[in-house]
Amino acid sequence: MNTSAVPATARYGATAIALHWVLGLAIVALFGVGWYMTGLPFSPQRLKLYNWHKWAGVAILGLSAMRLAWRLANRPPALPAEVQSAMPRWQQLAHHGVHHLLYALFFVVPLVGWAYSSAAGFPIVFLGLIPLPDFVPASPALAETLKPWHAWTAYALAGLVALHVAAALKHHFVDRDGLIGRMLPARP
């Protein structure tokens, strides 16, 4: 379905669409870099990627706060009645549950990463210019506890993103209900 066929009242606004895609692409990129960098031997390249990963995590945290603030101030459009009536109850619950978990993990993953970095004694200097306060005091024991939690929550976020994408593609290619058009830029 063409995005111009989606009624304007059923579409997300330009700001919500921009925040959705920028945050989504940033999360996918950051997950890829995080996965790649953990397999590298200790080197200047690895240290550079870890710093970039931290900066991007802070940026994602800021984008997540902007997205949440926008979402709270601007109610999202309701699912079109014909789409909602065609969805079994479990899909409606999954739709809402996945969105709530995504929003929670947008904050949990970078905050746990920040706490891990602080506990490990590696401060975050955003873009190499702005030192951020330690989120927790330095503690090797706490760092060892937080390290796997950062990975686990990142994998959980990646899994939910994959589920979200799969559901969007199912609506587009199987159901052909135009739902994906609500989050695509409108064509003139």
Helix (H, G, I), strand (E, B) or coil at 163: helix
Report all structural domains of the chain as residue ranges with CATH numbers, in order of start.
3-183 (1.20.950.20)
How far is the CA of 17 from the CAs of 30, 70, 137, 144, in angstroms?
20, 11, 38, 38
Q: Does the pLDDT value for residue 157 go beyond 60?
A: yes
Q: pLDDT category, 7, cuts 50, 70, 90?
A: low
pLDDT at site 73: 97
pLDDT at site 10: 82
Q: Do the beta carbons of residue 55 and residue 64 sit within 8 Å?
A: no
The residue type found at 81 is A
Higher pLDDT: 116 or 2? It is 116
Model pTM score: 0.91
125 DSSP 8-state letter: E
Which of 60-64, 87-91, 97-101 is predicted with the least confidence, judged by mean pLDDT? 87-91
Chain-centre distance for alpha carbon 2: 26
How far is the CA of 164 from the CAs of 24, 79, 110, 122, 173, in angstroms?
11, 15, 20, 34, 14
Q: Which residue has the tokens 């290619």?
A: 173
pLDDT at site 143: 98
